[in-house]
Chain A
Amino acid sequence: MANAAVQTLDISPVGRVEGDLDVRVDIEDGVVTNAWTSAELFRGFEIILRDKDPQAGLVVTPRACGICGASHLTCAAWALDTAWGTEVPRNAILARNLGQIAESLQSLPRHHYGLFMIDMTNKNYRKSEFYEEAVKRWAPFTGTHYEHGVTISGRPVEIYALLGGQWPHSSYMVPGGVMCAPTLTDVTRAWSILEHFKKNWIESMWLGCTLERYEEIKSYDDFMAWLDEKPEHANSDLGLYWRMGLDIGLDKYGVGHGKFISWGYLPHEDKYNNPTIESRNASVIMKSGVYDGASDTHKLMDQIATREDVQHAWYDEPGGLHPFERVTNPVGKNDLDPDGQYSWSTAVRHDDNGRLEAGPLARQVIAGGSHGEDWQHTDPLVLDMYKKMGGASVHLRHFARMHEGVKLYREAERILREFRLDAPWYVKPTETDGQGWGATEAIRGALCHWIEVEGGKIKNYQIIAPTTWNVGPRSNDGERGPIEEALIGTPIADASDPVEVGHVCRSYDSCLVCTVHAHDAKTGKELARFRTA
């Protein structure tokens, strides 16, 4: 391979839960052959939380990530509920779920137009027959659909403001319930916001059809039939995304480990009123799971199997521990060494299954399984696509993210019907010592908090964010992190503008501001850098 052009990509800025990421990628013959992901910001939220008020996580953790603040608040509240043994009234469960859903609905157009689709206007794709239309719709700031999509993304979180006063960064979910007691006008206002969002974006711009028609799609074949059924479908933003994605080969790379995790989310309003760590799996509407693509098997995810390795991360700790056992201890000097320590992110793994991919694709392939409770949500579509299209890819990962929107919309509608305005929203709990665990699915994947309260203050607080799962460095046994693995095999058409690497990172919706450096591995000459999220 003497003539092989070997280059290296480095992605820069991600914190342990949000921040700065660097990625280094080796390229040979125009294909990525090795990769390293480095989180480059450390703020030490787990250290700040030590010895603080037990409820400090309700204020601090939403500020770990301003993009997924409602998801952090959800985890922080349920973690205290399980630690204190609270009673949570059904209205409060519904109000928490609605806040979580509002944040996720917001993120769909914001991520899609603001972060993901800009890449479709990259000059790399100018030969695509869809390029001209892509630029017209999706060019930053001036694209017709970019401007509409980014602006309308602010509407769903107006519902969050009706419950919590503002988005981002409210703390309205508290152990024992919620702080608010919405009135009928709050409910009707929320309805009209949802309707506006549906009429002016989901149906008119995104789908080109009604929610009802879209909901008939249950398989890959159904989807392809829908695409061909009408020009409105094919030319919708979904239709155009699908056709152009295949045209430029987004379905050909970004495979990853083919092993997935979801904590499940949205506790049922009548099934998790006395929350415990153990009873959560049987209480959530969207079920938890681990899916192994190689053996095509599903099982429930148990938090007890979580491990954090730190051999390649900037922590001076034993590693390999469950988060309850972990004490966060950063190293003093964070020199970047791909063979040694190279990230602020830990390497999270399942004790039996190793590294797992978190995110909307994980949720959807898990939703296709027959494990869990009979009443829990199932959806065969994305799992069917996963099998028929030969596994994961940039294309399918982003489709899975957007596919969830209609389901979340329906659940938001159901919640508004289920609120009983004269029933309680809060049952004052008794503060005690104990261990708790709260989890949810942020739009970008599995998020959870572990808390230990002792002597009326926080003894230990541990957060594992979806980006921690996805962006972590190698584990102690050398298994690559999910994004590291997904980068393998990525074709790079132009090493001075490696947009494909950006596609892979952005398909995970990593919660980080990252920069890719491309440089020649032999000369060390840097070829290009670009941001990926």
Chain B
Amino acid sequence: MANLLWLQGGACSGNTMSFLNAEEPSACDLVTDFGINILWHPSLGMELGDNLQKLLKSCISGETPLDIFVFEGTVVQAPDGTGEWNRFAGRAMKDWVTELCDAAQYVVAIGDCATYGGIPATAPNPSESTGMQFLKREHGGFLGTDFASKAGLPVINIPGCPCHPDWVTQILVAVASGRGGEIGLDEFQRPKTFFSSFTQTGCTRNMHFAYKVSATEFGQRKGCLFYDLGCRGPMTHSPCNRILWNRQSSKTRAGMPCLGCTEPEFPFFDLEPGTLFKTQTVMGVPKDLPTGVDKTGYVKLTGAAKAAAPAWAEEDIFVV
């Protein structure tokens, strides 16, 4: 039995909606089969109001053991660091967050907002939003660089806008079954098991990437989205093409360029004019190259690829 509390700060509820799409285990399975006792959740919880306040205080005092504290959304600090622009249960949400994080065995940040600040922290960041332990790439965030939960781990970050339900449920099952200490984390405190491979890993357009055959505009059944349409699949760490979305597909499979939403810079280039769905280039070479590839290597690779490209690569491959 593990007690779980889930709260939302500067959130759109997208991670909750994504979580509710889960199967194997489903949200209900987590409760009935894995002994996760959901103390409260904004969309699912039964205890409310007075009872909720009592519950929150009971978690903070330790009377109710808080095994897992899940936070979705940014920590809103406006105006002037008070957090009053996001009030919850009678006080600034950020004050609840501070006390609950101190009481929890594990703290899990769900989605980009809780991880890095996400869209609300995009310039000019009107709500003074930050992630739990990062603001974009900068370590620290709301809780500070030294924060560790009672189990001795920093915040476990599960980024993505939204994150995939399986990324959440698998980590929750690991924690609930006593294997939380085995979760390996990368430099952004993301579980390595999900965030070491790339979005491109498993993409159905990989052959077009290899032959440098580009999808030059939308609505095509061929071509790689990296060369012209700004896809960040080769530079983004996620298992989006290993663990499919909604059991069916992924953005890049469907024809939508990866936006890099599991990385701290999302939304990239601060959405400046001319940066959306267009590969940014310098002298014809993409500004951001596939991770680990240098410019000379890229020019050689793509030159050779273009020369070797077979005729079929220019035809529809995902045919009707």
Contacts and interface: CB of A to CB of B under 8 A. Distances in A.
Interface of A: 12-13, 18-20, 22, 40-45, 47-48, 51-56, 58-60, 63-67, 69, 92, 110, 114-115, 118, 140-142, 146-147, 150-151, 153-154, 157-158, 160-172, 174, 176-181, 183-184, 189, 330, 332-334, 344, 421-422, 424-426, 428, 456-457, 496, 513, 515-518, 526-531, 533
A196 B161 CA distance: 28
Interface stretch (B60-68, B214-222, B284-292): B214-222
A43 B246 contact: no
Contacts of A110: 20
B43 A12 contact: no
Contacts of B169: none
B126 to A, nearest CB: 3
Interface stretch (B8-16, B139-147, B187-195, B302-310): B8-16
B102 interface: no
Contacts of A181: 219-221, 255, 318
A163 B248 CA distance: 10
A330 B126 contact: yes
Contacts of A161: 244-249, 254
Which 6 residue pairs of A and B lie closest in terms of their CB atoms, listed nearest first?
A: A529-B49, A66-B14, A530-B48, A426-B219, A44-B126, A165-B251
Interface string B37-68: 01000111110111111000000000000000
Contact of A177 (B46, B218, B256): B218
A48 B28 CA distance: 37
A382 to B, nearest CB: 27
A167 B256 contact: no
29 contacts: A13-B87, A19-B10, A42-B126, A43-B76, A52-B271, A59-B271, A66-B15, A66-B17, A147-B32, A150-B28, A151-B26, A153-B20, A158-B246, A161-B249, A166-B251, A167-B245, A168-B17, A169-B161, A179-B219, A181-B255, A183-B319, A189-B248, A344-B85, A456-B274, A513-B43, A515-B48, A515-B52, A515-B88, A530-B49
A154 B20 contact: yes
A166 B250 contact: yes
Nearest to B221: A181
Interface string B202-226: 0000000000000001111100000
A366 to B, nearest CB: 28
Contacts of A45: 119-120
A428 B246 contact: no
Contacts of A115: 43
A13 B43 CA distance: 12
B193 to A, nearest CB: 20
Given A66-B14, A150-B28, 16 more contacts: A18-B12, A42-B86, A53-B274, A63-B14, A63-B118, A142-B31, A150-B27, A151-B23, A151-B27, A165-B245, A165-B252, A176-B218, A177-B218, A424-B219, A496-B50, A515-B48
B122 interface: yes
B124 interface: yes
Nearest to A164: B254
A351 to B, nearest CB: 29
Nearest to A166: B245
A411 B38 CA distance: 38
B90 interface: yes
B232 interface: no
B197 interface: no
Contacts of B89: 12, 515, 529
Contacts of A513: 8, 13, 42-43
B162 A53 contact: no
A166 B246 contact: yes
Interface of B: 8, 10-18, 20-23, 26-28, 31-32, 38, 42-46, 48-53, 74, 76, 78-80, 84-90, 118-120, 122-127, 129, 161-162, 217-221, 240, 244-256, 259, 261, 267, 270-277, 318-320
B276 A55 contact: yes
Nearest to A146: B28
Contacts of A118: 46
Nearest to B123: A48
Contacts of A180: 219, 254-256
A467 B240 CA distance: 32
A20 B86 contact: yes
Nearest to A140: B46
Contact of B86 (A40, A60, A183): A40
Contacts of B252: 165
A518 B49 CA distance: 9
B246 A160 contact: yes
B254 A179 contact: yes
Contacts of A40: 86-88
Nearest to B7: A513
A528 B49 contact: yes
Nearest to A54: B273
A518 B259 CA distance: 45
B17 A456 contact: no
A47 B149 CA distance: 35
B224 to A, nearest CB: 14
Contacts of B51: 529-530
Q: Which of B12, B31, B240 has the most CB of A within 10 A?
A: B12
A407 B74 CA distance: 38
B255 A63 contact: no
Nearest to A10: B90
Given A66-B12, A150-B27, A457 B273 contact: yes
A439 B62 CA distance: 49
Contacts of A151: 23, 26-28
Q: Determine which residue in B51, B119, B252 has the highest number of CB atoms from chain A within 10 A of its CB, and name it.
A: B119
Contacts of B46: 118, 140
Contacts of B276: 53, 55-56, 58-59
A166 B32 CA distance: 27
Contacts of A69: 12, 14
Contact of A154 (B240, B246, B320): B246
Contacts of B259: 59, 171
A51 B123 CA distance: 10
B14 A169 contact: yes
B162 A66 contact: yes
B176 to A, nearest CB: 15
A533 B230 CA distance: 38
Contacts of A146: 28
Contact of B16 (A66, A157, A456): A66
Contacts of A66: 11-18, 162
A41 B50 contact: no
A457 B272 CA distance: 8
